[in-house]
């Protein structure tokens, strides 16, 4: 019967040889036996087996994951001066036009035996004095005054606070939004002034068409309503444009990744 030294001429024990075989992996070629008396290396010191013949490019190396450029990081906020000036101009135009309408169009025209009016475009647009206790285009005017007046006061004040808070987040390059918010703000403030002073809003722009011998009238409105509609339209244009820009970025993110780069020889 042979001794252990005769069975292992290199001086390694059977347990050591088995451990080396397990650590080396199935696909790794066998390693030469260690010299007699040399310590067996730790598993962490052994070279890792190659997992692939191709080098995988990390996702962080793609341009879409790069940090924002200096131009994006340095975007300037919208001018507060623009907010104040456009709001003041739209508010002044609304209050001045309402004052003119109330002074010149209210009452009864004894000569014409009808309500006073100023013809702007024959058979299409007239200026007439009207008291609107409701919202835009006579919305909710049938509600009792005890409910309608506080409701519109709270809604108008909340709209003003909301518009100002949104404008603080607008950038100078958002042209439609930075003009739309001040216009809507001036219109909301103009109607709020009327509700505080009178409990109703002065309307005087009467648009109508004649068909079949009858006049079909659109609800009367004022300069504040025009400013609000134009402002909301500009805000919608900005939001639609921003959504389209985000959609293009999403398509870029979903584009196939570049082909893996083979390792250098």
Provide the annotated active-site residues: 203, 225
In the numeric block, which tokens belong to residue 10? Answer: 């290199």
Please tell me the distance from the alpha carbon of residue 100 to that of residue 120, in angstroms, as a whole number. 15
In the three-class reduction of DSSP (H, G, I as helix; E, B as strand; rest coil), residue 261 is classed as strand
Q: For the chain, first and last CA: distance in Å?
A: 52
Please tell me the distance from the alpha carbon of residue 11 to that of residue 40, in angstroms, as a whole number. 12
Q: Which residues of 159-176 are buried (b: 16+ CB within 10 A; e: fewer)?
A: bbeebeeebeebeeebeb
CB 97 within 8 Å of CB 104: no
């Amino acid at each position: 019967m042979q001794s252990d030294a005769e069975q292992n001429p290199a001086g390694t024990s059977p347990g050591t040889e088995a451990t080396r075989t397990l650590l080396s992996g199935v696909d790794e070629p066998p390693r030469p036996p260690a010299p007699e008396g040399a310590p067996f290396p730790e598993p962490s010191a052994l070279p890792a087996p190659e997992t692939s013949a191709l080098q995988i490019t990390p996702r962080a190396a793609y341009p879409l994951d790069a940090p924002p450029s200096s131009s994006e990081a340095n975007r300037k906020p919208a001018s507060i001066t623009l907010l104040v000036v456009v709001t003041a101009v739209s508010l002044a135009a609304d209050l001045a036009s309402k004052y003119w309408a109330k002074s010149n169009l209210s009452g009864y025209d004894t000569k014409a035996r009808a309500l006073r009016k100023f013809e702007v475009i024959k058979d299409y647009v007239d200026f007439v004095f009207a008291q609107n206790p409701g919202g835009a285009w006579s919305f909710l005017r049938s509600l009792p005054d005890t409910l309608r007046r506080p409701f519109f006061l709270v809604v108008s004040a909340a709209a003003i606070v909301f518009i100002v808070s949104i404008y603080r987040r607008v950038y100078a390059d958002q042209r439609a939004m930075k003009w739309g918010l001040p216009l809507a703000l001036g219109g909301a403030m103009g109607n709020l002034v009327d509700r505080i002073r009178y409990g109703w809003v002065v309307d005087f722009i009467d648009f109508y068409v004649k068909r079949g011998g009858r006049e079909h009238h659109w609800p009367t409105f004022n300069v504040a309503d025009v400013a609000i509609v134009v402002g909301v339209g500009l805000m919608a244009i900005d939001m639609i444009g921003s959504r389209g820009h985000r959609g293009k970025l999403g398509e870029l993110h979903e584009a196939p990744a570049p082909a893996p780069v083979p390792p250098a020889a």
